[in-house]
Every structure is written in structure tokens, then in C-alpha cells.
Copies of this chain bind each other. A is one copy, B any other.
Amino acid sequence: MLQRKQEVLLNTTRKLLRKNAHIRLKHIVEHVHPADVAVLFRFLPDEHQDIIFSLLSENKRRAEVMSHLEDVIINRLLSEYDINDVAEIIKEMDDDDAADMLANLDEDQSAAVLKLIGREEREEIEDLLRYDEDTAGGLMTTDLISLPAEMTADEALKEIKRQGEEPEMVFYLYLVDDDGRLIGVVSLREVVQSPGDTILEDIMTRNIHKVRTDTDQEEVASIIARYDLLAAPVVDEENVLMGIVTVDDIIDVIREEATEDILKLVGAHEELLEDYSLRRNVMSRLPWLLATWMGGILVMKLMGGYEDTLKKVLPLAAFIPVVIGMAGNLGTQSATIVVRGIALGKVDVNRLWDTVGKETMTGLVLGTFYGTALGVVAYFQYDEIPLLSVVVGLALCCSMLIAAMVGTLVPMVLHRMNVDPAVATGPFVTTSIDLVGVFVYFQISILLL
């Protein structure tokens, strides 16, 4: 949610933009936190974004603001600048942000920018660009303090003084052997608290929560969150220290993954929150709706086969929406609980039938409750067909029971088949519940009426 402070900032900015009061605006955007400037970009039209960006006088500050911006906005801004200016901005960034930035540019542009950057920095960025952006390698920074394990506490403190402001995360010191292999970690606190002549090796922790460059970002997040770390070291297959992933990057990952999970369940994509183009919006939502549409056609065909039953007892039609609506909603509840439970590691996917059994029981109880209630309503509404109340009650109960089972089973089976349960669960569950619901409903009708 936007904080009050940011809403005030946004309103003030809009007012100053309307009045073309650029000098006052410049004063503001130069002095608030770069993350707050980035919030402005999210809510202002392109031409106003350009004005604000041009008001930032130093490349250092532009780089800071950019590291808080979304990819779509960055690409648009950079496309309006000369390649030399882009290089000047990127030079001012932390290496991990610079690599992210370049990964988003098209290849020609990215190569052109790299040529304009100094050799040492270029090599660091190129190293980072080799990694998939959803892995520890793609998230990590190479700005860290690594020291030989035989150093003393005093020497370590001297080294930190020498390094100045560069490393992002100075609170953990990583100890390596002569080949750069990670052997331990000490915190700055431990160094400060130890007598000056203590050998770091003697106070270091050897049991380190480290990750590999190719570890998936979700797993990195889960390790940092579980063990309450401020940063996790990243090593290659030879255990050579390559970088660190810091907790602030992990917070972004956790938010993104949660948002992705939510939106996937309804067949939408995360970018829709960042880029509201009509074409993109339509195209990204089309496939999921296609599954629903095709399911609907099947339901239509299925119902065509029951036309005779329907002709005999016309009121049957009036109860179809409530039966499939209730079943669909219950199934979606079960599916959502299971998908989120899997994501948080709170559902044991190896105990399939435990979870399915419990959810099915819930479906049975809720189905009996609402089925009975619906039967009573039907009895009074259509008292000329007393059996109708039994049919609708029983149909609601059965379809809710099945819905709970399907809603639980589908994501768990998908997960076991290594398919992301969030992406395929939604349309599959709602469509199959509609079909099964209509089928059960008419079969019971034929049997009883």
C-alpha cells in the first residue's frame, strides 16, 4: 500500500508539474529518497517521467533511482537517451543492478554500452550476465569482503577501513583459502568483540548456509528466510566464493513470487501490474479464458444431451447456476489453499491422501449443509414437484464433495509431475468442476424424476 508520505509527495509533484514549477520540483526530487522518486514514476504519464528524470542532475542519482524502477520504465527511459549517457549512468550502479539493467536492453545496445565501460567493471558485469536472472547467480553482487582465514582481527579491521564505502554488505566477512574456496564466515561484530590478535579461523563459523550460482531464487529466498540471514554466500561447483545475495533482494523475490502465485491462479501475469497496455493485457489473459471457454462449450454439448429431461422438468434449469457456482467456489478454495500451502512448504506433498481426505471431508460437511438448505428452498419454491428438492440438494452435496476432491488433487498431482501447480490449477479445476457438476446434476435428475 502507498504510505501517506508518498501520496503527499505524488500530489505535490502533480501540482508542480501542472504549474511547470520545475525549479521547485527539482529541489524535491533531488532530496527525497531514490525509492520515493521511483514511486512517482509508477504513477505519472511518460512525459512527466521524462521531465523528472531530466531534473536529476547527477548520474549517480539517476542510477540510484533507476535501481528502484520497473523494467518497462527503465527500458523506455534508456531508449530516449544517447548510448554514451546510458553508459555514464550504468557506470554509477552497483554491479548487480548494472547487470540487470543490461540484461533488459537488446543485445546490440547492451554490447555498445559495455564497450563504453572501463575494463574491470565490464568484466565484473559480464560475469554476472552469464547467470540466469532467476538464480542465485543472477541475484548476487560481487561487492563483498573476502579475507584469508589466517588473518587476525586487527588486520581484518584495517582491511575494512581500506575498502571504504564500496561493499554493500560489510557485516559478514567471508573467509577463503588460497584458491578462493569458501571455508568460513565471521560477523563484523565477532571481529570487533575479539582481542586484536585473534586468528579469524579460530572464531569463524564453518557450518555456512551457502547456495550455488545455479540455485533457484525461490530456494535462496527460503534459505535466507528460514535461517534469518542478512546475506547468503554464493559459490560455484568448486566451492569458490562468487558473490553474495543480500536480504533486501530476497524481499523483492518473496513479493514477486507471492504475486505471481496469486495472479497465476486466475490466469493473469505479473507484468499487468507494471504495464497496462491493452494489447498485452488482452493477450496474457486470453489463454486462460480459452480453457474456460472450451470447457463451457463442452458443458453446453453435455446439456444438449439432457434436453428431454429439461423439457419435462423446466425448473431444473433455474438451479444449475447455484450448483456449479457453489462447487466452483469450493473447489477454488481448496485449490488455493493447497497451492499456497505447497509454496510455503506447509503441505506435505508426499502425503497426498491425508490432505485430499481432509478436504473431501470438509466438502462433504459443507455440501450436506448447503445441499439441505437448498433442498428446503426448492421444496417451498416448487412445491408441485416435491422430488425436485431432493434432486437439487443431493446434486449440490455431491458436486461440492467432488469439487473439494478435484481442487485438492489437481495441484498436488501437478506438483508431483513437476508442473507449477499455480499456473495450471485454475482453469483446469473450474472447468472440470463445471462439467462434473452438470453431469452429476442431470444424472440424479434422471434417476429420481
Q: Given A1-B222, A299-B321, is A278 in contact with B344 using a C-beta cutoff of 8 Å?
A: no
The yes or no answer to A43 lying at the interface (CB within 8 A) is yes
- A317 surroundings in chain B (CB, below 8 A): 303, 310, 317, 320
Contact of A361 among B278, B320, B325 (CB under 8 A): B278
Q: Tell me the A212-231 residues at the B interface (CB within 8 Å).
A: 218-219, 222-230
- A274 surroundings in chain B (CB, below 8 A): 346
The yes or no answer to A259 lying at the interface (CB within 8 A) is yes
Copy tally for this chain in the complex stands at 2
Q: Given A1-B222, A321-B296, A333-B266, is A35 in contact with B227 using a C-beta cutoff of 8 Å?
A: yes
- A413 surroundings in chain B (CB, below 8 A): none
The yes or no answer to A343 lying at the interface (CB within 8 A) is yes
The distance in angstroms between the C-alpha atoms of A310 and B303, with both chains bound, is: 14
The distance in angstroms between the C-alpha atoms of A224 and B255, with both chains bound, is: 13
Complex A-B: 21 CB contacts under 8 Å: A36-B226, A247-B248, A258-B259, A266-B329, A266-B337, A267-B333, A273-B340, A273-B344, A282-B362, A286-B369, A293-B322, A293-B326, A295-B325, A296-B323, A300-B321, A300-B322, A301-B318, A301-B381, A307-B314, A307-B318, A321-B324
A residues touching B (Cβ–Cβ < 8 Å)?
1-3, 6-7, 10, 33, 35-36, 39, 42-43, 157, 160-161, 164, 170-171, 187-189, 192-193, 218-219, 222-230, 247-248, 250-252, 254-255, 258-259, 261-263, 265-268, 272-274, 276, 278, 281-282, 285-286, 288-289, 292-293, 295-297, 299-301, 303-304, 307, 310-311, 314-315, 317-326, 328-330, 332-333, 336-337, 340-351, 355, 358, 361-362, 365-366, 369-370, 373-374, 377, 381, 427, 430, 434, 438
